[in-house]
Chains A and B, each alone.
Chain A
Amino acid sequence: MKRYTIFVITENFIGILNRITIIFTRRGINIDALTASESRLEGIHRITIEVTASEETVIQLVNQIEKIIDVIKAFYHEDEAVVYQEIALYKIPVAKLDGGLEKVIRQHNAKIIAAEPEFVVLELTGHKEQTQELLEILKEYDLLEFARSGRVAVAKRMLTIDSFVK
């Protein structure tokens, strides 16, 4: 079992995400994170799926995803072969803002992106291990809310989606 990033290039077609996730649920495989967005090309969407499984299983998943009529291309990478980031937001009560917290914010390169009378919102972008580490620390500062995005990623190899679309 290993962590893999699956990229799916699709037409912008209603229900396509559903068709893709069915392939995972059918086999009882949990999707660790999923992000869907527009791509650089108009009408083409890209979906990034993070999954922990054996390579053999991932190959079968990718083959079955690619078989979906409106999927243009699907491929997978190990963590080392992709550049990826996740964004995390942390809501902290203003009352907890003191010198200790300021140090934590500096050390982790987090940013305060919103300040309200009762709370502030911190943002940290990085790998899951980093955002998780900050989460553990902020729990001691009466953390009010926490949200983390799925992985956004691009492959390291020199390949653009244009070649699949023609």
Chain B
Amino acid sequence: MKGTMIRGADIVVQSLIAEQAEIIFGYPGGAIMPVYDALYDYHEQIKHVLTRHEQGAIHAAQGYARVSGKVGVCLATSGPGATNLITGMADAQIDSTPLVCITGQVASHLLGTDAFQETDVVGISMPGTKWNIQVRRVEDIAPAIAKGFYIARSGRPGPVLIDITKDAQVDFGEMNYTPCLGFRSYRTHIPVEKNVIQQAAELINNAERPYVLYGQGVVLGKAEAELKFFLDKSGIPAASTLLGSGALSQDHPNFVGKLGMHGNYAPNLLTNKCDVLIAVGMRFDDRVTGDLKRYAKQAKVIHLELDAAEINKNVKTEVAVLGDCKESLAMLTDAVEKKQHPEWIARFRELEQMEREAVVQHDVTPTKTGLTMGEVINKVNQYKADDAVLVTDVGQHQMIAWRYFNYKKSRTQVTSGGLGTMGFALPAALGAQLYDYSRQVICVVGDGGIQMTIQELGAIMQTKAPVKIVLLNNNYLGMVRQWQQLFFDKRYSFTELDNPDFVKIADAYGIAAQKVTERGDLNEAIEDMLIHDGPYFLEVVVEKEDNVFPMIATGCSVEEVRLS
């Protein structure tokens, strides 16, 4: 089929439409202007959201990708526009978020000459992308975009950068879009080996205290139902990582809590008591394992993982089940015996009770006058919809919100896990909300993080995205302050903030807002927020020097998890 000759910029937009992209988050500038000019003609087929900073655009694309499971798309110009995407790419790379980022580049004859707004973004972004390419000829645009989408969404997902020179955007070429279906150097499907499943099943069937740790791989592999069936049949207790939260409903009888530095007491402690550890779609991050030399040494480890480079990277594996966990979990479910582990699960429940008395009561039903972050999240939990999406930033509020949010559905957890990017939440919430206007999107942020991307209130105003923003304000960079208190002799070096009047800022953006300082006003304020038609900004002033517990301090073992 012969296509008609159109401009490269039109090829860019038509290619995005061919890949069924519904929305682009972006910011215009010199080297990407031809694409913006083309977008003017396609506004009925593809939506564009103008953020207030390129970092906002990429985090919004991440938020969109995380809740939808689709590829997030963002668009920026060359030079500073492109470099402002770097943080988001690094974030998407470490959290396996599928993105296609398109940047404009100076005309090809100017490459390498330090031209205006020229930067080697392909070079700069190399460690932070799954794949990247510079396109200098119009005929290479459509194949690059096709390959980019394929790479971003297949296998272990990740960010892709396509840098297109300005001359390629204005030259005329033929539009003949062929989706990419694979190529020889990149294999996405690894068949699960039956004998490996047998080995794993044998270990599980002979185990007395088996234990499942699940991560985001379950969500990315769309294996939520397979995980549930496996747990139903095997009776094994299961704990989630930060990004795995939501893959299994917390109401499931085998769910025993959350793992990691600020996870629950029992799941961390008992990691060193199980005899078989079954890791599903998780990568043994240092925030989960603590000191590796003292991590689950007594256990035989079974690792269900798609990415071969993760096997034996941090934890030595007895049985490596390479492949898609949607397949391997189903095969494993067939191969294991139907069992229950009531005594083993009871040990988790006992320790859970200890955590409740030592930590949860203080957090959720405090006796002091100051409000706690935990009680705010607990109230949000009471009023939120079952499928509400929780978007968080990074720090104390992130850990508290994660601890107390009751995850019931998959893809309801959006946070910056691996990279820990402050400023992530506000734009990510915008992206998550724009995927579905009717869904409740609750954005919990701290007073530090929100000021890193507060300009995106402008994009929220312009799109009327009904994001519910809960600012937990303690006038501190709280997590850093907590560490200064515990490990640096309370030397609070540059962590206290003199903050602006946030309600006035929200008001200036035309966003309904209120500030709560008293416990008695909290219920009503949260109700007001959740029923409000449109975006809402709720500032809650919380206790200044409260700490997040349990905690596994750096260098400690999971069994040294402390309650205070």
Contact = CB atoms under 8 A, between A and B. Distances in A.
A86 interface: no
Contacts of A63: 308-309, 311, 313
B206 interface: no
B126 A66 contact: no
B307 interface: yes
A166 B151 CA distance: 19
A64 B313 CA distance: 10
Nearest to B311: A63
B122 A15 contact: yes
Contacts of A165: 184
Contact of B151 (A11, A60, A69): A69
B130 interface: yes
For the complex of A and B, list the 8 residue pairs with the smallest distance between their C-beta atoms, beginning with the closest: A63-B309, A69-B131, A72-B185, A67-B309, A64-B309, A69-B186, A70-B185, A22-B127
Contacts of B132: 15
A69 to B, nearest CB: 4
A10 B185 contact: yes
Given A14-B134, A18-B123, 19 more contacts: A15-B132, A18-B126, A19-B126, A22-B127, A26-B127, A59-B312, A60-B309, A60-B313, A63-B309, A64-B309, A66-B308, A66-B309, A67-B307, A67-B308, A67-B309, A69-B131, A69-B185, A70-B186, A165-B184
Nearest to A64: B309
12 contacts: A18-B123, A22-B126, A22-B127, A60-B309, A60-B313, A63-B313, A64-B309, A66-B309, A67-B309, A69-B185, A70-B186, A165-B184
Contacts of A60: 309, 312-313
Contacts of A14: 134
Contacts of A64: 309
Q: Number of contact residues on B: which range applies? A: 10 to 19
Contacts of A59: 312
B183 to A, nearest CB: 8
Contacts of B312: 59-60
Interface in B102-155: 122-123, 126-127, 130-132, 134, 151
Nearest to A61: B309
Interface in B299-340: 307-309, 311-313
B123 A69 contact: no
Given A59-B312, A60-B313, A66-B308, A71 B185 contact: yes
A15 B184 CA distance: 18
Interface residues of A, number: 20
A69 B130 contact: yes
Interface of A: 10-11, 14-15, 18-19, 22, 26, 59-60, 63-64, 66-67, 69-72, 165-166
Nearest to B313: A60
A19 B131 CA distance: 9
Given A60-B313, A69-B130, A166 B184 contact: yes
Contacts of A70: 131, 185-186
Nearest to B314: A60
Given A10-B185, A69-B186, A15 B308 contact: no
Contacts of B185: 10-11, 69-72
A18 B129 CA distance: 13
Nearest to B185: A72
A14 B126 CA distance: 12
A19 B132 CA distance: 10
Contacts of B309: 60, 63-64, 66-67
B307 to A, nearest CB: 7
Contacts of A15: 122-123, 126, 132
Nearest to A166: B184
A136 to B, nearest CB: 39
Nearest to A67: B309
Nearest to B308: A63
A72 B126 contact: no
A52 B130 CA distance: 27
Contacts of B311: 63
Given A15-B126, A22-B126, A63-B309, A72 B131 contact: no
Interface string B167-204: 00000000000000000111000000000000000000
Nearest to A165: B184
B314 to A, nearest CB: 10
A28 to B, nearest CB: 14
A11 B127 CA distance: 19
Nearest to B160: A69
B184 A72 contact: yes
A69 B126 CA distance: 12
Nearest to B134: A14
Nearest to B186: A69
A163 B314 CA distance: 31
A18 B126 CA distance: 8
Nearest to B310: A63
Contacts of A10: 185
A25 to B, nearest CB: 9
